[in-house]
Structure 1
């Protein structure tokens, strides 16, 4: 039987998981580098296929690329997320005027804090 305390704990965990996801979704469109840095584990990797080859960046490399990117309006959206214990995954997208990034994240909970551990991304031309 699910108790009120259980429901409160589950809701608190959901909100904790959403913190780094929202830091990414809200920080990326406005190039808020500190907010993005806060969302990612320092050892995280960002990966995507570019011209048929795997490209990957460390967090500092990724943040440098974001900093250099043109500022564009976009629509962020959480498509889904789930978790088991101290691991989670999320499926999100950022829709710009001519393309969309569809991202899948793996998250870990360390010292009571959820962090994005890795990101794989697909760039879809609209």
Structure 2
């Protein structure tokens, strides 16, 4: 992680970034659209590849999709994050029973708050576990 020269500043920035990332990581599994809204910039875009084509949603469209989803067991995990000045990035994953979302975020700091301005997501199918009788 690289940021301001003062260690106190770096600790403060880290906490502010983690607040944003935790809003996503804790909000998405339980479909808490207000917590998700707090993590994203209002003009954010969410992108993924579906059947070989780029698909993207505005934040309101994405929140509508989340609101209509079914709650499933999920293990959220912060893999990494870094920042320089008022821009940053993060790598997270949400692991469900049969698939995992691997997300990469671009972050900006505006008015003292870190926000996700861009999410690129990959869905990875997980192998089905075999159950022995």
TM-score w.r.t. length of structure 2? 0.90
1:19 Cα shift? 1.1
- Distance in 2 of aligned mates of 1:34 and 1:86: 24
1:88 Cα shift? 0.4
Q: Runs of 5+ in structure 1 lacking a partner?
A: none
State yes or no: 1:69 paired with 2:69.
Answer: yes
Tell me the equivalent position of 1:42.
42
State yes or no: 1:89 paired with 2:89.
Answer: yes
- Distance in 1 of aligned mates of 2:20 and 2:61: 19
Equivalent residue pairs, number: 122
Cα shift readout 1:14-50 (whole Å, capped 9, x = no counterpart): 0101111110000000011100001100000000000
Give the alignment of 1:2-21 within 5 angstroms: 6-21=6-21
Q: Runs of 5+ in structure 2 lacking a partner?
A: 127-133
SS at match of 1:60: helix
1:120 Cα shift? 0.1
1:6 Cα shift? 2.2
SS at match of 1:117: strand
SS at match of 1:15: helix
1:7 Cα shift? 1.9
SS at match of 2:42: strand
Tell me the equivalent position of 1:125.
125
Runs of 4 or more, structure 1, over 3 Å off, are: none
Structure possessing the higher radius of gyration over alpha carbons: 2
- Distance in 2 of aligned mates of 1:7 and 1:52: 44
TM-score w.r.t. length of structure 1? 0.95
Tell me the equivalent position of 1:116.
116
Cα RMSD (Å): 1.0
